[in-house]
Structures are given as structure tokens and as C-alpha cells.
Amino acid sequence: MEKRLEMHGGILGGLVPLLVLIGGLIWLSVAERGGTKPFWACAWLAIAVGLFFARNKEEYCKSIMRGIGDKTGIVIITAWLFAGVFGTLMVAGGLVDGLLWMGMTTGAKGAAFTLIVFFAAMLFSLGTGTSTGTCIALTPVLYPAGHFLGADPSMLGLAILSGAAFGDNLAPISDTTIVSAYTQGATMKDVVRSRFPLSMSAAAIAGVVFLIFGGGGELHPLPEIQARMDATGAIMLIALVVVVAAALSGRHIIESLIYGNVAAGIIGVVTGRFSPATLFSIPPKRGVSTGLIENGINGVVGAIIFAVLILAVTSVLVESGIMKRILTLAETAFVRTVRQAELFIIGITILASIPISANAPAELLVGPSLVRPLGEKFDLAPARRANLMDCAVCTIFFTLPWHIVVAAWYAALITAADAYGISAPSISSALYNPYSWALLGVLLFSAATGWNRKFGGNEGLVGETA
């Protein structure tokens, strides 16, 4: 994109919107008040303050609108709308109770049950695309169950957090997967197929860790947890298969999600988990939800608005030449080979994700303006760039206590422990998240050796993201 904006103060003036944005995000995140809705004000302030540093105020406003109307953003927002409904339908369809049934009927105890909890969390997060939702939904049932079956409390809790990170990393309906794919101009088919070896390698390593260290607790009689088991809930996984199969067959992600939504709706009605009126009906009074479809959309509104504002701020950074300066500095200082380029992409993405308590916005900040042009310079395939970025935001991010998902995970642990009179690990246990550290190791190995690296596919993609 050509430089259009002139800012008072030159490079420093152009950095003002970014500094205001990051400053606000760090402040809220460290205060443990972060979230997509609280972040709205930070982005709004960044845009408003930036106006007073623009030499041409009208052109600044046009830049903001170009960012909001960005083609990449439109695809991401549309995908989130359908992904949000899909996740809501999966939960309403009894997926939690189905996974509990799968885990409890195996007869596993101790470390074996911890491994099953990890697998269940992987499936739930794959099916719903939400790491935070995975922790909130599964912890109240799987944590107490594992505790009574002799699992180590810390490893049991980490099994849920690790499974949540896995789905956030790989699920085609995950916000990070959608953002990473479409900011790099990659198809969902290529992204999921090429990311699978990376994610599964990390999951295998984490699985071994859980199998070795996940036991050692004491066995106790199970309380009323067993009453929640329901095999019909596991049938909802068919809807996940529909989405993944459609995406891998080359269908557009929106088309794949619509098929998945329809499948989830039909399965939920057939199994009796909800009625057609639960999906959509005229509410008894104004202000009451019309059903699961509205609830699903409402659940992603915060993320959508924040994404739009992030794209507006990013547009100013790009058009004022700030991102080009950073990229040029990186290329001049230490990025001269494809290996160095990949390590830079990993590092800058992780760095962006550390202060922000939501990881998809971190991808939006660096994906279009830094990762894509650098990757294209070294002819890295769009899916490879997307994978480097997405895997990177699912590493350190899932270990830091001020991030939304970790805070939600620990709050759910404490609530579940109090409800059943059992112990809960310290929040510092998140720092040992096996999947996140295994994924970081796999990612660095891939960049260092070239394993899973792909080139080409950039012809005709410049400026195209759908």
C-alpha cells in the first residue's frame, strides 16, 4: 500500500495511535480487566488522538475508513458471525455432557483420565472454536471428575487449558485460524492441512507429559457428576466433521460453516437437546433473545467491533509508513535468510501477543502489515505464513495469568474446587502449560530445519485475501 499520510512529528507522530492503543491494552490486561469490549475504548482513543497528529485531517479520516472497509476484515467478520452461532449450537446440543460420557465410560483413572481430559478438551475446542469457552464449559465437570479419579490436580487443570489451546490453534472456526488465514491470503483448506502436523506433534508431546505426570492423586467415590453423562451429546461431533470435511474439500469457510450450522441444528433437534423454537422464535417481549442464533452472534459482537477498530488503527500505521520503516529495519538488521524471516515472524507475533489479553487482535496488528510482506519477499507460501503466526500466538499466550483465557480457566477451577470441597492448583501452574511449550518447540524446530516449510502460491494473491 502506498504512503498517503503525513504526520506531525514524523515517525514519532505516526507511532502515537499505536502507543495509545498498546498502552491502554497493557493497562487493562495487567489490571485483569481486559476483554474485547473493554478494549473498544483503547482503540477509539488511539484513533481520536491520532487525528491531531495528522497533517491532512481529511486524508486521515479516509485512511480510517479504508481500514474499516478492508477486504480482509469483511471476510473475518463474516466468518466470525457463523462461527459464533456454530459454537453456541454445539454447546446447546450437549457436547459437554457427551464428552463427559466419553471420559467416564472408559474406566480410566489417574494419569490415563488426565490424558482423556486433554483429548476431550481438544475435541470441544475444535468443535466450538473457543479456548475461553472450552475452559468455562469443561472445567466444572471434568476437573472434579478427574480429581475424584486420582488425577494430579495441576496436570488435570493444565490438560483442560492445553486442550483449549490446541483447538484455538487448529480449529477452522477458531478466530485465530480465521484471522491468520485471511490476513495472509491463504485458503482454509491449505491452512488446516499444513498446520495439522505442527499441532498434532505438539499434542503428542503434551499427551506423553500428561500420561507420565498426570496421576498420583487419591481415589474417591464419585458424587453426582455421573448424572450429567449423556451419550447423545457426543453425536454433535458429527457437525464438526461436516465443517472440517467441507473446508478440507476446498469449500469457502463461510459455506463450510453454514453446512456445519445446519448439521448442528438438525442434530440438536433430532436428539431432543433443543427445539426449533429454541433456534429462532418471536420473543415474549422486547429485549429478550430470539434464540440460539441471536445468542451466538451476540457472543462475537465484542470481537468483531474490536477487530474493525484494530484494522482502522493498522491502516493509519501502514499508510503513514510506520510499518514499512519497521519492516525495513528488520530486513536490514537481521533478516537476510528465509530461516531468519520465519524466526522474525514467530518472534514479532509472540511479542505482540504478550501484552494483549486476546490473541486474534495481535495477529491483526502484525499479520497484514509485517508478516505478509516479509513472507512474500522470501516467497513463503500463504499457508506457511499463517501457520507460523497462528502457532506463535498459541504458545506463550496460554501461559500468562493476565490473558483472558488463563484468567477464565483459573476462575472456573476455583469455582469447581469450591463446589466440591476439593483443592485447586495455583494460577502459576499455567506457566507450565505442556501444549504451549511443546508447540513453541515444534515451531522453532520447523523454522530452524525447514520441516513443513512451503514456498510459492503468492502469484495473484497480492491484495487478495478471500
End-to-end CA distance of the chain: 18
> Quick check: 160 pLDDT over 80?
yes
**In the block, residue with C-alpha cell 476431550:** 120
Q: Is a pLDDT exceeding 90 seen at residue 449?
A: yes
271: cell is 436428539
pLDDT of residue 257: 86
Q: HEC string of 398-418?
A: HHCCCCHHHHHHHHHHHHHHH
Give per-residue pLDDT as tens, 276-327.
Answer: 999 999 988 888 889 999 998 988 888 788 878 888 888 888 788 877 777 7
**CA-CA distance, 354 to 347, in Å (whole number)?**
11
- Check if the beta carbon of residue 86 is closer than 8 Å to that of residue 173: yes
Q: What mean pLDDT do residues 358-377 have?
A: 87
- Segment 263-276 shows an average pLDDT of 93
Task: Give the mean pLDDT of the chain.
Answer: 87
Rg (the chain; Cα; Å): 22
**What pLDDT was estimated at residue 465?**
34
Mean pLDDT of 147-157: 92
Cβ proximity of 436 and 205 under 8 Å? no
pLDDT(249) > 90: no
When mean pLDDT is compared over 11-25, 33-47, 263-277, 307-321, the highest value belongs to: 263-277
- What DSSP designation does 236 have? G
How far is Cα 191 from Cα 41, in angstroms, rounded to an integer?
A: 33
Which of residues 231 and 119 earns the better pLDDT score?
119
Q: Is 253 within 8 Å of 188 (Cβ atoms)?
A: yes
3-state secondary structure of 350: helix
Report the pLDDT averaged over residues 431-453: 96
Per-residue pLDDT for 466 more than 50?
A: no
- Compute CA distances 52 → 6, 49, 55, 58, 466, whole Å: 12, 6, 8, 11, 34
DSSP state of 249: T
Give per-residue pLDDT as tens, 204-216: 999 999 999 998 7
* Phi/psi at 422 (5° precision): -120, 170
CB 313 within 8 A of CB 53: no
3-state DSSP of 6-66: CECCCHHHHHHHHHHHHHHHHHHHHCCCCCCCHHHHHHHHHHHHHHCCECCHHHHHHHHHH
Distances (CA, A) of 135 to 117, 408, 409: 11, 7, 5
* Cα(167)–Cα(121) distance, integer angstroms: 8
Residue linked to cell 467415590: 221
Residue 35 in this model has a pLDDT that exceeds 70: no
Exposed (0-12), middle (13-18) or buried (19+): which is 460, by Cβ within 10 Å? Answer: exposed
Nearest to 337 by CA among 388, 367, 380: 380
- Which pLDDT score is estimated for 459? 61
Residues forming a β-bridge with 437: none
Whole-number Å distance between alpha carbons of 429 and 287: 42
Residues in a beta bridge with 8: none
Q: How far apart are CA 271 and CA 452, in angstroms?
A: 41
Q: What is the pLDDT of residues 63-114, one digit of tens each?
A: 999 888 877 678 778 878 888 888 889 888 888 888 888 877 887 889 999 9
Rounded to whole angstroms, how far apart are CA atoms 201 and 278?
40
Cell of 148: 475424584
237 burial class (0-12, 13-18, 19+ CB within 10 angstroms)? Answer: buried
Look at residue 224 in the predicted model and tell me its pLDDT.
63
Distance, CA of 177 to CA of 195 (rounded, Å): 10
Q: Of 138, 439, 395, whose CA–CA distance to 403 is shortest?
A: 395
Q: What percent of the chain has pLDDT over 90?
A: 43
Tell me if 383 sits within 8 A of 191, measured CB to CB: yes
Specify the higher pLDDT residue, 416 or 462: 416
pLDDT per residue as tens digits for the range 383-409: 999 999 999 999 999 998 877 788 889
